[in-house]
A and B are shown apart, each in its own frame.
Chain A
């Protein structure tokens, strides 16, 4: 395993351990926690400054949420419009109902191109459908060209954030990976030298590999255009130099009009990287003779999105523009980083998106991987009420559990049912308080505090004491006071 960045398996929600278990090794890794805290601090600080400067920030959020909600309400029409325009401009539009189909479509296009290599722009959607392993199996090697993705690919690691995927990796780890995989023994570990090494390594690939795969930040329905926002220029390389370009995009990426970009672009970079605009935004429409790829394919991906669309509270999940502001502000993510979520979509948005893309059959621990603090909702540029969706998904998970016989062995479940019965009446509640005092007395030390509890209680006392139950509850005091006053 030497040379690999983590021992983590591929981020597949079907196989990932539940969040509390996946988080533990990360919590025990001070280097990783430091990297995550540092990265998120940097972006948050930059973001805060720019948001304070943008006096119409809240109005922009309102408009963005409205545009995204509106497009979802009429998604079919807008997708069809996009298809018509893009096709008229020389693009070929494919529809993939799931990951299997998306991979098959892409591989088929590559076979027709006789491509055994492709250059890739970072796209979370391609990680979602596990494209790279499928390409390898089909004899096609994909070169990741985004610096972070390159680091992860060469180092056999997995992304932990969708804007800065390698934030969990530090410079000496990058140095080691590049030195080994690029054959550069004397490579120093300063970021400038490492970046220069990546530039050299990738340059020839950009100039010679004729097929590229990328994603889309936005699809524009009224023009059939695609917009890609990036910092490094590898996107522009992949979008301009090859002969054939395949764009993979979730069906929810569409915006109605070109002009809608005036809202989205003001929000995206500020939220994602704390910049007013990312260095490069590229916009293209189908094929332009003499400029850029002459063969252009768009693969529209459903893969569970249409079922999210159907649900009233959850539909807002699809507004997401993948800025990762929620990750950067999340106090849970801050401690665990991305891998603990067992998905290419980590953090608050991942906690609601991943289980839904899995039709609630997997990743059921993710909706509970939150203290419901609401910081994510505050920063979301499209106003996704993530806590509201988390609560809705928790209720679905519990409803699944209600149908399982195993629930009677689940202490948490039994505890909740019991508590509900207790809260149903004041007499039972008082009786439960009395029983609680008796039950906890043996655990209560002379100083009146409980240091250690069994069973579920041990989860509390692993790091906290608990003050023992006072011998008189408030209501008992109130009643006694009333009696005294008479």
Chain B
């Protein structure tokens, strides 16, 4: 099985260890991975901030890069939601017929990581070992955009040594919202505090999710407050084995 990894602009820049975990995990599962060196961004930040023309130029570029690719895997549910929910409107409004059909052909070949593991590879037990107390936050895009349902939990439940602690108000938004965290910083911070109360109350060692965007927001506050908890992307948990625990990140 071959797949092409779209790492996402922010993972590439800020969380390369998540990318490394995806690579090691998928290669361990027998996937031959490619990485298109021309990739940059899916356009979500621009689309969500009202810059549609700019978002479309990035969308067009994305489709152009992957139009002949069999399968694209993306370790970020918000980017996949951008492609599934917003690309159609952008291409309808700003694209031409040829671009629209190119996109339509590509769309079914795009997978978020947990979708790829469960739906394409058909695995729930990826042979992971992560002996820690972990709580899972359901990011809004994965929950309501992609309807990933219980896929991430099914994957986590098969991780040996992992103690999964339920998160109260698991489906409530953490308050990141992309540029919302800057444009409405105070409200975003209030939402963050409320969410953090629920997360910290689990007394878990790690909070995980499908999106480093949420985790950057939650983890940034944990670090600021010297909380006894860290964030970690799901890929890094699934990549971890007895012989190879997750990378020590700062």
Contacts and interface: CB of A to CB of B under 8 A. Distances in A.
Interface of A: 19-20, 23-24, 27, 33, 331-332, 334-336, 367-375, 377-378, 388, 391, 394-399, 412, 416-417, 419-420, 422-426, 429, 433, 436, 447-449, 451, 456, 459-460, 462-470, 472-479
Contact of B177 (A24, A373, A422): A373
Given A424-B57, A424-B61, A477-B20, A27 B175 contact: no
A371 B175 contact: yes
Contacts of B249: 467
A474 B12 contact: yes
Interface in B225-250: 249-250
A412 B186 contact: no
Given A23-B187, A391-B47, A459 B182 contact: yes
B185 A371 contact: no
Interface in B189-230: 189-194, 216-217, 219-221, 223-224
Q: In terms of DSSP, what is the predominant structure of the interface of chain B?
A: helix
B172 A331 contact: yes
Nearest to B221: A464
A332 B184 CA distance: 10
Interface string B17-60: 10110010000000000010111110101111111101001100
B14 interface: yes
B197 to A, nearest CB: 12
Contact of B35 (A377, A449, A451, A478): A478
B166 to A, nearest CB: 17
- Chain B, interface size category, equals 35 or more
Give the top 9 A-B pairs by smallest Cβ distance, nearest first. Answer: A371-B177, A464-B220, A394-B50, A398-B50, A448-B250, A373-B173, A474-B19, A474-B16, A459-B185
Contacts of A24: 186
B113 interface: no
Given A20-B183, A331-B175, A469 B191 contact: no
A412 B50 CA distance: 12
Contacts of A334: 191, 194
A475 B48 contact: no
Given A335-B194, A420-B46, A463-B224, A372 B140 contact: yes
Contacts of B178: 371-372
Most chain B Cβ neighbours within 10 Å, of A23, A369, A420: A420
A374 B47 contact: no
A394 B49 CA distance: 6
B51 A27 contact: no
A476 B19 CA distance: 11
Contact of A394 (B48, B173, B182): B48
B173 A331 contact: yes
Nearest to A436: B13
